Amino acid sequence: MMPYVNEYDTPECKTLAETAKKSIRTPDSLGLDRCIQCGACTASCPAARFTDYSPRHIVKKVLEDDRSVLESEMIWSCFYCYSCNLRCPRNNSPVTIVQVLRQMAINEGIGVEKLAYFLEIGEYLAENGASKIPGPGVKNMERDLGEHWIKFKKNLESIRVELGLSSRDIRNTHGEVQAILEGTGYFEREKWLKAKIQEKRLHQLLKNQCVKKEDKSGDFSFENDRGYTGQAALII
């Protein structure tokens, strides 16, 4: 399948750094070239504290135009907490750069299977004008949170009424949100994503039947990436 280029998040440029700077996801004032590799971002980073992830290192890879960063599991570990954004003394913003890298990876079909979990958010928004925890998330929450939460969810409508709210939080968008998602090409991209996920699953299935699973975790030239496979995704 052809890659799907999403031109505002990932404008096509000669280098990773240029794409990051031009992207709608990063601020105009992005201090990428000003990065002094001081590590304040990594020191503030919750993901760095508990995994081998390092925003300083990601920024370095981008400055070196090392595209292997797109294949690293690392970029999927960020919490989007913006601590690095606040603490960087050079007005760089590793968090928004990581967002661009994820979008670039997605364009090439890397990591798309992770999006399967969240994909129904788009259709739900178009229909109801609101977002919700996606179905697989609800399943995992039911398992984790148990009876108490399941019962609360069953009673949500009557609780809302008791509080003086409408029974369901549905917005009256006159079909405008649906029309906007059509106009921006969201649905087209969603279709591409679904097909790509399907293709990858099929591919994986065939591969599992033929060869023993190879370990693809290392060799992305990250100091610490060797052996880091990310964590197993929860069931979908």
Question: What residues line the site for ligand SF4 (CB under 6 A)?
Answer: 35-41, 44-47, 55-56, 59, 78-84, 88, 90, 92, 94-95
Distance (Å, whole) CA 25 – CA 122? 19
Q: Which stretch binds other proteins (CB under 8 A): 12-20, 33-41, 112-120, 216-224?
A: 112-120
Helix 120-128, helix 176-183: angle, nearest 10: 140
Whether 105 and 111 have beta carbons less than 8 Å apart is answered as: yes
Distance (Å, whole) CA 43 – CA 143? 34
Residue 83: CB minimum distance to ligand SF4, A: 4
- To the nearest 5 percent, what fractions of the chain are helix, strand and coil? 55, 0, 45
59-78 footprint of other proteins as x/- string (CB under 8 A)? -----------------xxx
Using CB distances below 5 to 8 A depending on partner kind, what does residue 118 bind out of ligand SF4, other proteins, none? other proteins
Write out the two tokens for 170. Answer: 């549905």
Beta-carbon count within 10 A of 96 CB: 21
Residue 211: CB minimum distance to other proteins, A: 26
Distance (Å, whole) CA 167 – CA 152? 14
Identity of the residue, 36 or 159, whose beta carbon is nearer to ligand SF4 in the bound complex: 36
Measured on CA atoms in the order 183, 184, 188, 194, is the torsion positive or negative? negative
Q: How far is CA 32 from CA 63, 64, 90, 154, 222, in A?
A: 8, 12, 8, 48, 19
Identity of the residue, 1 or 232, whose beta carbon is nearer to other proteins in the bound complex: 232
What letter does residue 212 receive in the DSSP assignment? Answer: P
Identity of the residue, 78 or 106, whose beta carbon is nearer to ligand SF4 in the bound complex: 78
Our finding on whether 222 is near other proteins (CB under 8 A) is no
Our finding on whether 49 is near other proteins (CB under 8 A) is yes
Using CB distances below 5 to 8 A depending on partner kind, what does residue 156 bind out of ligand SF4, other proteins, none? other proteins
Our finding on whether 149 is near other proteins (CB under 8 A) is yes
Using CB distances below 5 to 8 A depending on partner kind, what does residue 38 bind out of ligand SF4, other proteins, none? ligand SF4
Our finding on whether 58 is near other proteins (CB under 8 A) is no
Using CB distances below 5 to 8 A depending on partner kind, what does residue 49 bind out of other proteins, ligand SF4, none? other proteins
Our finding on whether 31 is near other proteins (CB under 8 A) is no
